[in-house]
Amino acid sequence: MTTKIYEALKWASLFLQRHGRDENVGEIALKHILDYNRTQLLTNMREDLKEEHLLQFQEMVQKHIEGEPIQYLIGYEYFYGRKFIVNNEVLIPRPETEELVEGVLERIHKLWDRTDHLELVDVGTGSGAIAISLALENPQLTVHTVDIAEESIEVAKQNALHLGANVNFLHNDLLNYFIDENKKVDIVVSNPPYIPHQDWLQLDEVVKEHEPYRALVGGEDGLDFYRRFATDLPKVLNHKALVAFEVGIGQGEPVATILRNTFNHAQVEVVFDINGKDRMVYMMK
């Protein structure tokens, strides 16, 4: 007895719903298995599924119900219109972070002429989503990116190669390389670990048990990395500079205060994301 695409999707939707998972995962999995876009999937709803595809689909849905993120199961996630390889050595890029990239591009345009050559460093690169997107969107940038985990850098390098981005990768801790080399930069961007440890304990197992702890948790209050940045930024920033951070919900003003205390005369702003959550903090001096 054959199973049609719409029947497989209906089964997955009910199964996922019953286990408190995102019903959309079935569609993501089947598009990947069949190599279809959404239009192709909708057009071929009454098509029979090959048995091998059905078994692969059922296994993938089951693994997700057991807690594995669908992005790790299919091996990629889209970010800023591009396909990024991901695995459990890197955080899965989130839509909110696309807003950080957009905010950085807008502020570069306001602060500098299009003919200016700018040095940018992305700290804690993970999959390379931020650094690679910025490098590809703005050719006036020389992009450096730092991560403490070599495993993450390997993933980011694959993405840069696959997407044709020219990025300089550094295996180091925060801004130490630039301080040691007495190297100045114009822009520092980071989506650092910012989840308080207690909050991490309450996270959904899909995140907590599969995405790397080192990329999620920023100490007891989640602000450890921002405090370290406050110490290091004055040593590496040029006279005219931009700093852009992603922050956790409720951290906008605390992070802005950390920056204001470090840069007395700078312009610091907290920006809310599309969902109305404080998500980005920018400092311009």
Supply the DSSP symbol for 66. Answer: T
Q: Are residues 172 and 57 in the same domain?
A: no
Asked if residue 145 lies in contact with residue 121, where contact means CB atoms within 8 angstroms, the answer is yes
Q: Are residues 36 and 102 in the same domain?
A: no
Q: Are residues 50 and 120 in the same domain?
A: no
Q: Are residues 123 and 173 in the same domain?
A: yes
Is 125 flagged in the annotation as binding?
A: yes
Residue 239 lies inside a defined structural domain of this protein:
yes
Arithmetic mean of pLDDT, 164-175: 95
What pLDDT does 41 receive? 94
Name the token pair of 170. Answer: 């550094």
Is 87 flagged in the annotation as binding?
A: no
Q: Where are the alpha helices (DSSP H) in 66-196?
A: 70-74, 95-111, 129-137, 150-163, 176-180
Is 128 flagged in the annotation as binding?
A: yes
CA distance linking residue 99 with residue 231, whole number of Å: 26
Q: Are residues 140 and 214 in the same domain?
A: yes
- Going by C-beta distance under 8 Å and a sequence separation of 6 or more, which residues neighbour residue 272? 252, 278, 279
Residue 71 lies inside a defined structural domain of this protein:
no
Query: What is the crossing angle of helices 25-34 and 51-65, to 10°?
Result: 140
Asked if residue 271 lies in contact with residue 103, where contact means CB atoms within 8 angstroms, the answer is yes
- CATH code for the domain in which residue 153 is found: 3.40.50.150
Residue 72 lies inside a defined structural domain of this protein:
no
What pLDDT does 46 receive? 95
Q: Are residues 146 and 277 in the same domain?
A: yes
Q: Are residues 189 and 245 in the same domain?
A: yes
Asked if residue 167 lies in contact with residue 128, where contact means CB atoms within 8 angstroms, the answer is yes
Is 213 flagged in the annotation as binding?
A: no
Asked if residue 165 lies in contact with residue 132, where contact means CB atoms within 8 angstroms, the answer is yes
71 vs 210, more confident? 71
Q: Are residues 265 and 197 in the same domain?
A: yes
Is 276 flagged in the annotation as binding?
A: no
> Per-residue confidence at 113, pLDDT binned at 50, 70, 90?
very high
> Per-residue confidence at 199, pLDDT binned at 50, 70, 90?
low
> Per-residue confidence at 57, pLDDT binned at 50, 70, 90?
very high
Whether the per-residue pLDDT at 88 is higher than 90: the answer is no
Q: Are residues 62 and 95 in the same domain?
A: no
Domain count, the chain: 2
What pLDDT does 195 receive? 72
Is 191 flagged in the annotation as binding?
A: yes
What pLDDT does 14 receive? 94
193 vs 133, more confident? 133
- Quote the domain boundaries for residue 38: 3-66
Residue 177 lies inside a defined structural domain of this protein:
yes
Is 124 flagged in the annotation as binding?
A: yes
Asked if residue 137 lies in contact with residue 105, where contact means CB atoms within 8 angstroms, the answer is yes
Residue 115 lies inside a defined structural domain of this protein:
yes
Residue 77 lies inside a defined structural domain of this protein:
no
What pLDDT does 224 receive? 85
Full-prediction pTM beyond 0.85?
A: yes
Is 192 flagged in the annotation as binding?
A: yes
- Going by C-beta distance under 8 Å and a sequence separation of 6 or more, which residues neighbour residue 187? 104, 108, 118, 119, 120, 121, 141, 241, 242, 243, 244
Q: Are residues 60 and 93 in the same domain?
A: no
Q: Are residues 121 and 253 in the same domain?
A: yes
Whether the per-residue pLDDT at 19 is higher than 60: the answer is yes
> Per-residue confidence at 245, pLDDT binned at 50, 70, 90?
very high
Q: Is 102 left (phi over 0), alpha (psi -120 to 50) or beta?
A: alpha
Is 139 flagged in the annotation as binding?
A: no
Average per-residue pLDDT for the chain: 91
Whether the per-residue pLDDT at 179 is higher than 70: the answer is yes
Residue 80 lies inside a defined structural domain of this protein:
no
Residue 122 lies inside a defined structural domain of this protein:
yes
Residue where the block lists tokens 């989840």: 195
3 state DSSP class of 139: coil
Q: Are residues 95 and 61 in the same domain?
A: no
